[in-house]
Structure 1
Amino acid sequence: MLDDIFTTLKQNYNFRVLSHLKHDNCFVYKEGKKLLNLASNDYLALSYDKNLIEEFLDNLKEKYKYFSSSSSRSLSGNFEIYEEFEEYLKMQFQGFEVLHFNSGYHLNLSCIAALASVPKTLFLADKFIHASMVDGLLLGKAHFFRFKHKDIKALENLIQIHYDKYDNIIILSEALFSMDGDFSDLKALCALKQRYKKIKLYIDEAHSVGCFNDNGLGLVKHLGFDKEIDFLVFTFGKAVASMGACIITHKEFKDFFINKARAFIYSTALAPINVAFTLFIFKKMKEFKEKRENLHNLAFLFKEKFAQKKYEILGDAYIISLVLGDNLKALNIAQILENQGFFAPAIKEPTVPKNTARIRFSLHAGLRLDDIERIINIL
């Protein structure tokens, strides 16, 4: 039974295997070969900052030195660090509450599924939202429609068609889309919310938190739309260099998720030491201004170099994709890059739409200008 599935995947050059990797700062070793890692989402290059890690450990309070919470937060796992973290972010988003989850996937899956249980709720989802959000819709057996990526006219048309049939309409989008690397039209989404009072906005900042705003509080905050967003999702396994996630929302919805988000209720909570590290990083975000500026400068240069060669690229910021279309072609280019010392695996269907296979470059603040030049020269 499985052999047929595997055969089809292999014939389409779409069979995935796990690479055996050893990590060393911004490099990985694959089969003994040292490669510059361009597949990581460590956008601020914090994960291997030894001084930062030593400072955290040197100042770690005894009450946070737990490597397991040993329980869900609903039972005995609600260590005080969770509430300290939630209170800290709450102060940055006046009028909102914060709820910590184990991961962005757990959060989106269970919060969207929970919202789907609210009677007369419709979801309108950008075609390119993350798989975790789609899975939440499917798990919750939600009423939903998907609209063409960033097509505000198509979205408004769906709103008008279905507006009178539902009490709540929740629009799902990302602030910075994870694969195409483009920005959501947050201004247009907020304008729709102003025109149609039943609308609520659910925005995932997985790839933008840490990299925008002086306090690293994401693109929505940077653009001044934070009061308009009903559900704002931060994840911590990327630029924040930690693990976990949180949802920033109104108090009634925080209470609702505590009672109805199954991944929150039935998961053992993350270890207190992980939550303490996340809080430590957020408190230091102002100090990473130079890293953020360097990241954006590198991205601008990278895109400029690609434009000079007239390549088809995607990306408004530091997630930049070289679109190749064919799976085999993408695999071949990835191998050429690997032979020259760069780890940038091919991204293929179903992660991206069919015939849009690509090399996705995740830039980070630890890169140098000559790294950019070398990649461009290879291509």
Structure 2
Amino acid sequence: MHKKKVDHHLSELIYPRKNKKHLVLGKKPTEEAVLLQSNDYLAISNHDTIRNAQIDALIKTDKEVVMSAIFLHKDGEKDSFEQQLASFTGYEHCILSQSGWAANIGLIQTIIPANTPVYIDFFAHMSLWEGARTANAAIHSFLHNNVKHLEKMIKKHGPGLILVDSVYSTLGTIAPITEIVAIAKKYGCATVVDESHSLGTHGLNGSGLVAELGLSKDVDFITVSLAKSFAYRAGAILCSDKVGQCFPFVAHPAIFSSALLPHEVEVLTATLDLIKKCDQRRKQLFSQTSKLKNGLEELGFRIQSQSQIIALETGSEARTEVIRDLLEADNIFGSVFCQPATPKNRNLIRFSVNSSLSDDDIGKILLACDKVRRVLNK
């Protein structure tokens, strides 16, 4: 039975491609390539401050016990990374997790009973969907960023939990968080906003969109992957003290996976300090994003982005393969998004802009995209 399933995957995903690899795998980038695949939006992953913090933390650490977070005693840690991040975003409590994926699954499993109505944006991250499934919720999807459709669903099915991203990782669109919070209050719903792609880039000192909108006291939970602007491998939940007290003893990702090690938390602390000082990088990020977006629109591309994530909607697998190869032939490397990240035949190539992208780089991207447009319009 398993052989049939494996053969099906291979025949669907691997064998049809020209290079006999998955669609997301084209050429290997050269050193001269313009890389638009990383979510390191502030271009800090190789920053000396972070490197030195990691080296120092490893050198001074005598012993690190690898164990589940359920056994950790954190009483009295007044200036911990968790407390700093909670204060930074305007929440009472912060829970560190192994990833943004673990944060979303653990949180949703912890806070809702089975069969609770969950209202989820169609383009919300897969970890939010998986969290709702893990919690045995009654899942109701609403049209992307369509507040009227959300309200209609709540009227029909009753109060529950609303799940959205602040910045959507596929199209780069931004959720109407203010309107969603108003609806949540009106109908007695709780809200979870995944700020993975806005913490560090948006808001005062990078404190995120929820904080920028003054909604930290109105949005019940924020979740975040720290593998984006923080350029690390971790996740976090911003919540109330009560949720923080019970989470380690209820959430399966917290119970059955080892916690982050102390030296890793020290790296995150140094990164948070750096991010707060990155106003110039944030300014540069959005300046370059605007230039690229405007250039693509002038070429005739339909761009829905409202953020540093810019997507070329490429359609079918075959068409996406052609566009990917044309771009990579000109040393432009974006990320291919296909099933299960997007619906079938609604593939896209995502350009993740970062603050180190130069005007020359933007010129190269636009030249390559113009070539794509001319070839496909023949």
TM over 0.5: yes
Counterpart of 1:188? 179
Alignment partner of 2:44: what SS? coil
Unaligned runs of 5+ in 1: 21-28
Distance 1:65 1:361 in 2: 42
Distance 1:356 1:82 in 2: 48
Residue 92 (structure 1) aligned with residue 88 (structure 2): yes
Unaligned runs of 5+ in 2: 370-378
Distance 1:200 1:76 in 2: 29
Distance 2:268 2:183 in 1: 34
Change in CA separation of 1:254 and 1:54 when aligned onto 2, cut-off 3 Å: closer
**C-alpha displacement of 1:82:** 10
Matching residue's letter, 1:39: Q
Change in CA separation of 1:362 and 1:224 when aligned onto 2, cut-off 3 Å: same
Change in CA separation of 1:65 and 1:310 when aligned onto 2, cut-off 3 Å: farther
Matching residue's letter, 2:8: D
- 8 Å CA contact 1:322–1:360 kept in 2: the answer is yes
**C-alpha displacement of 1:181:** 0.6
Alignment partner of 1:99: what SS? strand
Distance 1:208 1:267 in 2: 27
Distance 1:30 1:79 in 2: 48
Distance 1:107 1:324 in 2: 31
Distance 2:54 2:13 in 1: 45
Matching residue's letter, 1:179: T
TM-score calculated relative to the size of structure 1 = 0.88
Q: Which has the higher strand share?
A: 1
Distance 1:90 1:64 in 2: 25
Match 1:6 to one of 4, 10, 17: 10
Change in CA separation of 1:48 and 1:216 when aligned onto 2, cut-off 3 Å: same
**C-alpha displacement of 1:364:** 0.5
Counterpart of 2:276? 286
**C-alpha displacement of 1:62:** 6.5
Alignment partner of 1:226: what SS? coil
Identity of aligned residues (%): 26
Distance 1:83 1:102 in 2: 21
Residue 326 (structure 1) aligned with residue 323 (structure 2): no
Distance 1:95 1:75 in 2: 24
Match 1:314 to one of 304, 312, 327: 304
Match 1:150 to one of 145, 148, 157: 145
Match 2:355 to one of 365, 370, 377: 365
**C-alpha displacement of 1:16:** 2.3
Counterpart of 2:239? 249
Alignment partner of 2:233: what SS? coil
Distance 1:192 1:307 in 2: 33
Matching residue's letter, 1:85: F
TM-score calculated relative to the size of structure 2 = 0.88
**C-alpha displacement of 1:160:** 1.0
Residue 56 (structure 1) aligned with residue 53 (structure 2): yes
Residue 16 (structure 1) aligned with residue 6 (structure 2): no
C-alpha distance after superposition, 1:113-151 (max 9, x if no partner): 2334x2663211111111111111222221221111111
Q: CA RMSD in A?
A: 2.6
Alignment partner of 2:211: what SS? helix
